[in-house]
Amino acid sequence: MKKSFIILLSFLAVACSKTLEIDTPDFNVALDPARLVSDTFTYRLGDTTRFRFSGSAGNVTFYSGEPGKRYDGRTSANKLGKITLSFSSKSEFGTQKNTLQVLATNKLPGLDSASVVNAAWTNINDRGALATSATVVPFGTADLTDLVANENDSLFIAFKYSGVTGSTQRTWTITEFTVNNVLAEKTVLISSLSADVAYWTRYGNVWSPSNGRWTASATDLKITGGGGSAATNTSWIVTKPLYAGRVPGDVSTGIKSINEPDKEEYAYAYPAPGVYKATFVAFNHTLDEEKKVIRELIIKVTP
């Protein structure tokens, strides 16, 4: 009995240590040969491109070749283009002047109040337009690239409000806030109100009433000024660190998973004229290993 137990343990040890083996996918893609001119398949805008499959693969994904959908074998990278800021504002009630500053820095050592107040902020009010009344005014698209050192650098943007006791303080509302990394091939969203509503940090000397400090929602940033007897108010709201050059990998469309039967074709209609490199990545994998094949076709879509 003891000997049998030892043999069983040895068998299990060998079985558990053995890596599961997989095969390279036997997968190919073809298009209508009548569409082929030189090495390019030509279609008119509005045509349906029908990719015909042969062979077998556990998983298949598709990159159309459009901006943001191009295969280059990576999941993410850092690349710095033009860093832009845009938003709209309105300013209601009262007549106090210069009550809002729009600030930016890449040198913020911490998100405590002392670090924020003493940071080397650049005032960027003059890079756009701010409201002077309840009429909503677009700031414009401000170029902040000069405030970022390199593709690995972070950027912080702050709105600093100042209201003085003795007269009605102004109420500010910020909408349509976005920060983008504009590359030649695509625009990467770095920050927006809806994406980052939970990540704004607030500072100030007035915390009661609650609308005497900035509030953040998925649609706006707002601070409500008090009446003439309200205390002098200095209030900040600051973004999370915005990693300006962080670029996610392009997006693919899943065509087949391991739980689905092999497909005979995939149909796709390109939305605009152009030349595209359509890429299919077929792969088999286990926890230990992955094997894949890449099939590429050049497609020209004419008006």
Instruction: Read off the pLDDT band of 75 (50, 70, 90).
Output: low
Contacts of 19 (CB under 8 A, 6+ apart): 286, 288, 289
| In a shared domain, residues 229 and 254 | no
Does the model's pTM come out above 0.75?
Answer: no
Q: What is the count of structural domains for the chain? A: 2
Residue 105, pLDDT > 60, answer: yes
For range 59-79, the mean pLDDT? 83
Instruction: Select the more confidently predicted residue: 286 or 87.
Output: 87
Residue 208, pLDDT > 80, answer: no
Q: Could you tell me the residue range of the domain that residue 183 belongs to?
A: 78-247
> CA 146, CA 246: separation in Å to the nearest integer?
17
Domain boundary among 223, 247, 271: 247
> CA 95, CA 167: separation in Å to the nearest integer?
8
Q: Among 136-140, 211-215, 286-290, which stretch is predicted with the lowest mean pLDDT?
A: 286-290
> CA 284, CA 257: separation in Å to the nearest integer?
10
Domain boundary among 202, 230, 247: 247
For range 260-271, the mean pLDDT? 95
Q: What is the pLDDT of residue 6?
A: 45
| In a shared domain, residues 145 and 46 | no
For range 264-278, the mean pLDDT? 96
172-190 tens-digit pLDDT: 999 999 999 998 878 889 9
144-158 tens-digit pLDDT: 999 999 988 999 999
Does a structural domain hold residue 9? no
Answer for the pair 174, 89: CB distance below 8 angstroms, yes or no.
yes
| In a shared domain, residues 135 and 278 | no
Q: What is the pLDDT of residue 185?
A: 78
Instruction: Read off the pLDDT band of 18 (50, 70, 90).
Output: low
Answer for the pair 41, 70: CB distance below 8 angstroms, yes or no.
no
> CA 41, CA 60: separation in Å to the nearest integer?
21
Residue 266 sits in a domain whose CATH number is 2.60.40.10
| In a shared domain, residues 62 and 85 | no
Residue 221, pLDDT > 90, answer: yes
| In a shared domain, residues 66 and 202 | no
| In a shared domain, residues 116 and 203 | yes
